[in-house]
Amino acid sequence: MSPLEFVHLLGNWSGGDGPVYEKLARAIGNALERGEIPAETRLPAERTLARLLRLSRTTVVSAYEQLRQRGWVERRQGSGTRVRGPLSPGTRKGEEPALSFRRHPVYRGLIEGSGGTIEFLAAHLPAAGITPDVLTYDRRAVEQLLAGPGYVPMGLPALRKAVAHHLTKSGLATTADQVLITNGAQQAIMLVGALLLSPGDGVVVENPTYLGAIDILTSRGARLLPVPVGRDGARIEALAEVARRARPRLLYLMPTFQNPTGALMPERERRAVAKVSAELSIPILEDNTLADLSLGVEPPPPIAAFAPPSAPILTVGSLSKLFWGGLRVGWIRASEDLLARIARLKIMADLGGSVLSQLSALKLLARAERVKQKRRVQVRERFDLLTGLLARHLPEWEWTPPAGGLSLWVRLPRGDANELAQIALRHGVSVVPGPLASPDGSFADHLRLPFVLDRKPMEEGVMRLSRAWAAYTSANAPTSRRSLDVLV
C-alpha cells in the first residue's frame, strides 16, 4: 500500500471531536477494524504522512503511539510502524481489488456519504426527462413478460432495436443483433475486461482517464500503458508508438468528451485509431458515456464507424448521464461474435438486467433528442457558473475549456493536489486530486472538478475551496512559521 493509497483510505478523518492526533489515530484504527489494512503492513513514515496530511510530525508520532498503546501496531527503531492486529478476516492476501473502493473517494462517497462536505467528486446530474408515465408500463407488454422467465441476458429485443437506431443516428450504422444491454456502462467495461484481459496483459489508456476504468482494468491484473491527452484527445502518434512497441491486448479510449479533460477527438484522428487497431489486430474499447453532453460542437461519429462491421471495436454507452444514473441501463455495440462471448459472461454475472428498467429506457430513448438539447443547456449553465466562480475566487488556477462532458481539469499554479485535497476536507469540501485519474499517478498539479452542483452548493463549495487554497499556500510560504495543525 502506497502512502497516497493509505491517505485516501482514511477519507474525511479530521471530522469529529478531540485533539488532532486522536482523530487521526481513530481513523487509522477504524480502517484496521474494517479489515482494510492487512497485517504486517508498514504504515507510512511519520514525515511522509505528516507531509501528505499537512500535519506536524509530532501529531503523527502521537497518533502512531496511541495505536501502539492499543495493541494495533508495533514500532521498532529502524523498521518503522507495522500493523499487528487484531485484524478482520477481510485482510487476507489477494483481496486487494475488493478494497479498492475504500481508497476511491467517489466510490466511498456513494456508499458512506460525504461526511458533511460539499462534494466535487462524482460527475452525475439529477434526473432529466423522467416523467411519471415513464414509470408506468403497457399492460399487454408486462403480461407478455410475466408469461416468461424474466431473464433476458442480451436485453429486451425492442430496446436493442431502439439503441441500434440511436447509434445509427449518431453516424454508427448498427443493427439490433450488434447490441447487448448492460447494467450501465460500468458493467459494460467490466464485461469487456473479463472477456479480453488476463493478468499481465497490456492496455493502452489515456493519461488522465476515467477513475473507474483504472480500477476495473487493474483488477483484471492489466498493465496500464498511458498515452498523453491533448485538445484533440489521445495523441495518436504516442498511441501508435506504444501500440507497436508493447503490443497491448486492448486500447481503452474516450474519444468524445474525454473524462476528465472534456477533449473531443476529431474525425481524422478517429480514422487513424481505427487504422492502428486494424493493422495490429488490437481491440478497442470505445467509451462514449458522455457523448450526449456537448458544450457546443457536434461530435463526429464513433470510432467504430470508420472500421468494418467485423472489426474488434466495442462501443460502450449508457443512459445514466443523459437521463438518470438510477436507471442502470447501458450497452455494448460490437460484432455478433464478440457479443455472443460477452453474453455468456453476463449470464454468469446477473442472468440479465431488470426488464422493467428496460421498458422505461425504451420510452426514454424516444425522447432522447429533446432531452439532449435541454441537458446541454443545463450543462452549459453549470459550466459557466463554475468557471466564473473559479475566475473570481481562484484566479491563479488554469484549465483548457472542455468541448463537453461534466468535468473541469484544473491545473494548480504550485503545490500538490493530494495535499490540497486534505486541507479541503478540513474546510468542508471534497475534491479528486489528479493522481487518482492517472494510470501512473502523475498530474499531482491537477484537480478534477465536476460542474454538476446546483448554484448555492457550488458557490459555497468554491468559497470553501478558496479558503482551503489560501490556508495551504500560507502554510507553504517560505516565511510562514505557523503550525500546520492549525489547518485542522
Question: pLDDT (tens digit, 9 = 90+) per residue, 185-212?
Answer: 999 999 999 999 999 999 999 999 999 9
pTM of whole model > 0.95? no
Give the CATH number for residue 461: 3.90.1150.10
pLDDT higher than threshold 90 for residue 362: yes
Number of domains, the chain: 3
Q: Are residues 72 and 167 in the same domain?
A: no
Q: Are residues 356 and 413 in the same domain?
A: no
Domain end position, chosen among 307, 331, 366? 366
Question: pLDDT (tens digit, 9 = 90+) per residue, 289-301?
Answer: 999 999 999 999 9
Is residue 259, in this structure, part of any structural domain at all?
A: yes
Q: What's the Cα-to-Cα distance from 300 to each of 268, 289, 324, 410, rounded to whole Å?
A: 10, 15, 24, 26
Give me 2's grid cell. 502506497
User: Region 336-364: what's the mean pLDDT?
Assistant: 92
Q: Which pLDDT score is estimated for 35?
A: 79
User: Region 23-41: what's the mean pLDDT?
Assistant: 86
Q: Are residues 143 and 250 in the same domain?
A: yes
Q: Are residues 294 and 323 in the same domain?
A: yes
User: Region 353-363: what's the mean pLDDT?
Assistant: 91
- CA gyration radius, the chain: 24
Give the CATH number for residue 306: 3.40.640.10
Q: Are residues 151 and 254 in the same domain?
A: yes
The better pLDDT of the pair 96, 162 is held by 162
Question: pLDDT (tens digit, 9 = 90+) per residue, 96-132?
Answer: 444 454 456 666 666 666 567 899 998 999 999 888 8
Strands 284-287 and 250-253: parallel
Question: pLDDT (tens digit, 9 = 90+) per residue, 220-256?
Answer: 999 999 999 999 999 999 999 999 999 999 999 999 9
Give the CATH number for residue 64: 1.10.10.10
Q: Please state, rounded to an integer, the average pLDDT across all residues of the chain.
A: 89
Spatial separation of the C-alpha atoms in residues 71 and 86, rounded to whole Å: 8
Q: Are residues 386 and 315 in the same domain?
A: no
Domain end position, chosen among 366, 388, 408? 366
Q: Are residues 408 and 451 in the same domain?
A: yes
Is residue 303, in this structure, part of any structural domain at all?
A: yes
Is residue 92, in this structure, part of any structural domain at all?
A: yes
Is residue 103, in this structure, part of any structural domain at all?
A: no
Q: Which pLDDT score is estimated for 103?
A: 53
Please enumerate in sequence order all residues whose Cβ is within 8 A of that of 421, keeping only pairs 6 or more positions apart, or say none. Answer: 430, 431, 432, 433, 447
Q: Are residues 167 and 71 in the same domain?
A: no
Domain end position, chosen among 318, 333, 366? 366
Domain that holds residue 443: 108-123+373-487
Q: Using alpha carbons only, give the angle 237, 239, 241 rounded to the nearest 5 degrees.
A: 70
Is residue 328, in this structure, part of any structural domain at all?
A: yes
Q: What's the Cα-to-Cα distance from 62 to each of 8, 69, 332, rounded to whole Å?
A: 20, 11, 52
Question: pLDDT (tens digit, 9 = 90+) per residue, 372-392?
Answer: 999 999 999 999 999 999 999
Omega prior to 86 cis, within 30 of 0 = yes
Cβ 424 vs Cβ 449: under 8 Å: no
Is residue 386, in this structure, part of any structural domain at all?
A: yes
Question: pLDDT (tens digit, 9 = 90+) per residue, 465-481?
Answer: 999 999 999 877 654 43
User: Region 167-196: what's the mean pLDDT?
Assistant: 96
Q: Are residues 316 and 169 in the same domain?
A: yes
119: left (phi > 0), else alpha (psi -120 to 50), else beta?
A: beta
Question: pLDDT (tens digit, 9 = 90+) per residue, 298-315?
Answer: 999 999 999 998 899 999
Q: Which pLDDT score is estimated for 134?
A: 84
Q: Are residues 181 and 325 in the same domain?
A: yes
Q: Are residues 326 and 395 in the same domain?
A: no
Q: What is the DSSP letter of 132?
A: G
Nearest Cα residue to 402 out of 232, 240, 270, 199: 232
Q: Which pLDDT score is estimated for 149?
A: 84
Q: Are residues 205 and 137 in the same domain?
A: yes
Nearest Cα residue to 178 out of 163, 197, 189: 163
pLDDT higher than threshold 80 for residue 79: no
**Number of residues written out for the chain:** 488
Is residue 219, in this structure, part of any structural domain at all?
A: yes
Question: pLDDT (tens digit, 9 = 90+) per residue, 390-410?
Answer: 999 999 999 999 999 999 999
Spatial separation of the C-alpha atoms in residues 30 and 40, rounded to whole Å: 17
Is residue 429, in this structure, part of any structural domain at all?
A: yes
